[in-house]
Amino acid sequence: MLNRLIKIKIIKICVFCLLFMSVVKAQSSPPEWTQSSYREQHYPSREWYAGYAFGRLSAGANAATEIDALKRNALNRLAESIIVTINSETSLLRKSVQRGEIDETSTDYNQAIRTATTTTTVRTDVVSFHNTATGDLYALATVRRADLAAFYRRQLNVDLNKAETAVGVSEHLVEAGKKISARQKVLEARKALVDVYSYIDLLSAVSVDADQSDMQIERTGDLMRTVERLLIHLEQSTFVYMNCSYEKRSSAKDNAFDSDPGILCGIIEQALTENECAITDSREEADFELTLVTSTTMRSDGVTGQFPILTYYANVRGTLFNRATNRQTASFTILNDPDVYEEGRDPQDAATKAFNMPELRNKVMENILPRIKN
């Protein structure tokens, strides 16, 4: 009886050892996908994109960190295989798009590369293996061409819809007299179309069956032409009529000038031009009418006080009238502002310096520009 129990125990130990050895062997044997013949058979290039990476665990390195890095390397190699296809297969597409008379470069190759790299994770399978016996590391990233093509079609359509929506919003903004905001919307549409052309390139590369209709070449070209036409039309198309004057204050010592020096008016004209506005001499053709009334105030007379210095404030009050809506949209007063005064040899010198201060220009623009843009 005792011998029988001993024999059973020995058999169990042997079975356990065999199972353990088989597990160890399985853990140390690389999977089939690490063989190029297996990858060629199961991931043929006509149906798949694949990126394979091999490495070896460095002494003292963290295995999980090294495997993650190898996976990224495999994904990058997968992206590279798509990029190579883009480079070789899209020249005909570019010519056909150019025949659509699109003024801007229709395909940004660098943008296509960035898009390919960032979208290869879509429905991409990434597997890895660590041979603990040898320290070898393996990673494989695979994605079906058909899955990528389906994704690119969806994204192409999403960006086209986004561009069309932005153009539609811009037209409503123009009707409301908000041409600067309208131009920003058109620029958004243009940016979306850059992405569209990237997806067109990608779709043409991954799908041999994609034609111009499938890639929506005509729709994209028409929309790009509309965008370019609107950008030309909206370039400095917000017209501002300026009405500038100088008023004297009741105290003679406050009046640094006998008449309007026109300093601030010229500064604001320049600032508006730099912000996509155009100055017009015709009140009838203006989108906005800006009224600026300037004045000066003596801050210190240069005689009294512990440190006698002659200083003057630059003052302005203004209104902005939207002719499209027939409403006053801004009203402001900058009077004896502690940020807007300067010293000088005489009243005119001090006040001239004060009117030329960037702080005064910025305060005026902060009051009117948001109303013009929005």
Report, as an integer, the average pLDDT of 88-99: 44
Number of domains in the chain: 3
Residue 44 covered by a domain: yes
Residue 44 has a pLDDT of 94
Do 45 and 94 fall within a single domain?
A: yes
Task: Name 45's Cβ contacts closer than 8 Å, sequence gap at least 6.
Answer: none
Residue 263 has a pLDDT of 96
Query: What DSSP string runs through 118-154?
Result: HHTTTT-EEEEEE-TTT-EEEEEEEEEHHHHHHHHHH
> What range does the domain containing 303 cover?
238-373
pLDDT at 11 over 60: no
Look up residue 299 and give its two tokens.
């801050």
d(CA 93, CA 235): 31
Residue 160 has a pLDDT of 95
Report, as an integer, the average pLDDT of 110-125: 64
Report, as an integer, the average pLDDT of 92-110: 43
Which pLDDT band holds residue 117 (cuts at 50, 70, 90)? low
Report, as an integer, the average pLDDT of 32-39: 94
- Per-residue model confidence as pLDDT tens digits over 288-341: 999 999 999 999 998 887 778 999 999 999 999 998 889 999 999 999 999 999
Residue 353 has a pLDDT of 97
Top pLDDT among 165 and 213 is at 165
Residue 121 covered by a domain: yes
Do 59 and 128 fall within a single domain?
A: yes
Do 136 and 156 fall within a single domain?
A: no
Residue 155 covered by a domain: yes
Cβ-based neighbour number of residue 326 at 10 Å:
8
Question: For the chain, how are helix, strand and coil distributed in percent, rounded to 5?
Answer: 55, 20, 25
Residue 121 has a pLDDT of 57
Do 200 and 244 fall within a single domain?
A: no
Report if pTM > 0.75. no
- Per-residue model confidence as pLDDT tens digits over 37-62: 999 999 998 899 999 999 999 888 89
Cβ pair 167, 73 in contact under 8 A = no
Residue 306 has a pLDDT of 74
Given 204, 234, 264, the domain boundary residue is 234
Do 268 and 153 fall within a single domain?
A: no
Which pLDDT band holds residue 8 (cuts at 50, 70, 90)? low
Given 169, 200, 234, the domain boundary residue is 234
Report, as an integer, the average pLDDT of 97-108: 41
Look up residue 313 and give its two tokens.
């404030």
Do 47 and 120 fall within a single domain?
A: yes
Residue 120 has a pLDDT of 58
Q: Report the residue count for the chain.
A: 374
pLDDT at 92 over 50: no
Share of the chain above pLDDT 90, in %: 51
Angle, nearest 10°, between helix axes 179-206 and 145-175? Answer: 170
User: Which of 136-140, 200-204, 311-315 comes out lowest in average pLDDT?
Assistant: 200-204
User: Which of 19-28, 208-217, 335-344 comes out lowest in average pLDDT?
Assistant: 19-28
- Per-residue model confidence as pLDDT tens digits over 249-260: 999 999 999 999
Given 234, 256, 287, the domain boundary residue is 234
Average pLDDT for the chain:
84
Residue 118 has a pLDDT of 62
Q: What are phi and psi of 281, to 5 degrees?
A: -90, -5
Do 153 and 271 fall within a single domain?
A: no
> Which range among 9-13, 175-179, 184-188, 314-318 has the greatest average pLDDT?
314-318
Look up residue 103 and give its two tokens.
């003024």
Residue 95 has a pLDDT of 39
